[in-house]
Structure 1
Amino acid sequence: MKNLLESLHSVLAKNVLGDKQYESRYKGFIGELSFQEWLSNYRGSATVFTGGYLLPRTVGSRSIEQPIYFTISPDSPQEYIQIYNYLNHLPCDSMYFINWNNEVSFSRWHSYEDVLEGVTLQVPDLNVFKFDPINSKFISIPFSEFLNLFPLKQNRTHSRAIPSSVIEKWHRKMSSYEYKHVLDLYVQRLIFDGYIGYSREHGIPSDIDAIIYSKKLKTYALLEIKEKDKSKRPPQGFGMDVERIADLSKLKSSTRFPIYYIVRQIDNQKDRNFLSWKIIELDNFKKNLASSMIQGGSGMGFENGQYPTQICPYEYFKDLK
């Protein structure tokens, strides 16, 4: 686990502005990894699919504006054909599936020095497929063809050094999660932050945290997963960035998939002790939003940026059981 976490750190540290954004990344990872383990323990029969990334090619474009959609997963792309047929209703430029080989141990992966300047990284065998929506099938292509969708950066933004105390704190937290889930996370970030984010131009990204198929409802559902504490000012509840609400609304209207907002509730921002899992459907969340807006956290953005957020009161969220 130690070598894996050091590699994950190397990828992230090169593609964030500084320690605040570095910590925001890890806070997001904790919510998603915790949910994966909750699913394993309580919903073993659920059919769970890896979510994908929405990444426009044009700098400044929002994620829903002619994005490249791609999934990074050890799963077979054939399992995702029906999902891609639905997602094809989005205004995507094109769609891809990046399959990686999880049958070879991390220590035996290829070592490359050309992904990040001055860093040697372990890279698994990768097979890339482009989705053909007309014939509803995946076509094998070179990885370079996928990467070349995004032009090389002329100038890279140099990130600030991450304090060792911050690195050690998040390594301790991450060590408690299953190795296979952390390994999957590393490959996701290797491609998104390493191959693309560090070296290539792109628009504003977003992602689908997970996709679940419900046999009862006979439909797929998209999940938005966050770790949050209750907002401090009335109405107390859980919020979401207004631009993210707009993007999720477009995602739902295009795919017709229900979208669920899942919150890993914690006690406060400092201690971050787990309290409970909460869930709400996107339409119910939007219907009960407070009209007033608050300034949300900067997340991966600039610390002095404006990030208007709307709050849905706590009582509208249900316990996830």
Structure 2
Amino acid sequence: MNDLLVALHNVLCKNVLGDKQYESRYKGFIGELSFQEWLNNNRRSATVFTGGYLLPRNTGSRSIQQPVYFTISSDEPHKYIHIYSYLNNIPCESMYFINWNDESNFSEWDSSDRILDGIKLQIPNFNVFKFDPSNLNFISIPFNDFLNLFPLKQNRTPSRAIPSSVIEKWHRKMSSYEYKHVLDLYVQRLIFDGYIGYSREHGIPSDIDAIIYSEKLKTYALLEIKEKDKSKRPPQGFGMDVERITDLSKLKSSIGLPIYYIVRQIDNQKDRNFLSWKIIELDNFKKNLAKSTIQGGSGMGFENGQYPTQICPYEYFKDLK
């Protein structure tokens, strides 16, 4: 596990502005990995699909504006045909599936020091497929055809060094999760942060954290998963970035699938002890939002930026059991 966590750190540290953004990445990972554990323990019969990335080619464009959509998964792409036919209604400029081979050991993977200028990274065998919406199938293409959608950066914002104490803290937290889930996370970040984020121009990215199929409802649902504590000032509850609310609303209206906001509730920002899982459907969340906004966390952005956030009171969230 340690070699894998070092590799994950190496991929991330070059594509964040500094330690605050580095920690934001890991906070997001903890929420998603914890939810995978919850599913394994409580919903073994659930059919869960890997979420994908929405990445416009034009610098400054938001994720919902003619994005390139791609999934990075060890699943077989044909299982995702129905999901892709829904998501193509966004509409997407083009859609891809990057399938990687999880049958060989991480230690046996090829390595390269050309992705991140001298940092050696382990690379699995993978194949890239382009989705053909007219025939509802996937067509094999060279990886470079996908990469070259995004032009090479002419200038790169330098990242600040990450303190060793911060690296060690998140290594400790991550080491408690299942190896296969951390491995899957590494491959996703290898492609998103390594091959694309570090050296390629693109618009404002977002992702779908997970996609689930409900046998009861006979439909797919998209999941937005976050780790949060209750807001300090009234109304106490859980918030979301205003622009993210807008993007998710457009996503839902385009594809016609339900979106659920899932919160891994923690006690506070410092200790981050788990309290409970909460869930709310996007329309119910929006209907009960406080009119006023508060300044949210900077996440992956600049620390002195403005990130207006709206809060939905705690009582509208249900327990996820």
* Equivalent in the alignment of 2:307: 307
Deviation of 1:157 (Å): 1.1
In 1, Cα distance between the equivalents of 2:121 and 2:158?
A: 19
- Tell me the number of residue pairs that the alignment of Structure 1 and Structure 2 aligns: 321
1:156, CA displacement in angstroms?
A: 1.2
Where does residue 136 of structure 1 map in the other structure? 136
Deviations 1:19-39 (A, max 9, x none): 000000000000000000000
Matched position secondary structure for 2:270: coil
The amino acid that maps onto 1:268 is: N
Deviations 1:272-313 (A, max 9, x none): 000000000000000000001000000000000000000000
Report the counterpart of residue 147 of structure 1 in structure 2.
147
Task: Give the TM-score, by structure 1 length.
Answer: 1.00
The whole-number CA distance in structure 2 between the counterparts of 1:118 and 1:83 is 38
1:289 and 1:128 map into 2 onto residues whose CA distance is: 41
Secondary structure in structure 1 of the residue aligned to 2:69: strand
Matched residue type, 2:90:
L
Aligned partner of residue 270 in structure 1, secondary structure: coil
Q: 2:179 matched to 1:179?
A: yes
Q: Can you list the C-alpha shifts for 1:29-56, whole angstroms capped at 9, x where unaligned?
A: 0000000000001000000000000000
Distance (whole Å) between structure 2 residues aligned to residue 51 and residue 283 of structure 1:
20
The superposition leaves residues 180-210 of structure 1 with CA deviations (integer Å, 9 ceiling, x where unpaired) of 0000000000000000000000000000000
Matched, 1:202 2:202: yes
Q: Percent identity?
A: 84
Q: Which amino acid aligns with 2:300?
A: M
Distance 2:80 2:137 in 1: 10
Residue aligning to 1:224: 224
Residue type of the alignment partner of 1:65: Q
Q: Give every structure 1 segment of 4 or more consecutive aligned residues whose post-TM-superposition deviation is greater than 6 Å.
A: none
- Partner secondary structure for residue 36 of structure 1: helix
**What are the superposed Cα offsets for residues 108-130 of structure 1, whole Å, 9 maximum, x if unpaired?**
11111111012000000010000
Partner of 2:156: 156
Distance 1:85 1:15 in 2: 32
Please report how far the alpha carbon of residue 155 of structure 1 lies from its aligned counterpart in structure 2 after TM superposition.
1.0
Alpha-carbon separation, structure 2, partners of 1:93 and 1:152: 19
Map 1:280-295 to 2 at 5 A.
Answer: 280-295=280-295
Root-mean-square deviation over aligned CA pairs: 0.4
Quote the offset at 1:174 in angstroms: 0.1
CA distance in 2, matches of 1:156, 1:87: 31
Where does the alignment leave 5 or more consecutive residues of structure 1 unmatched? none
Residue 216 of structure 2: SS of its match in structure 1? coil
Q: Spell out the pairing of 1:52-201 with structure 2 (5 A cutoff).
A: 52-201=52-201
Deviation string 1:234-289 (CA, Å, 9 cap, x unpaired) is 00000000000000001100111000000000000000000000000000000000
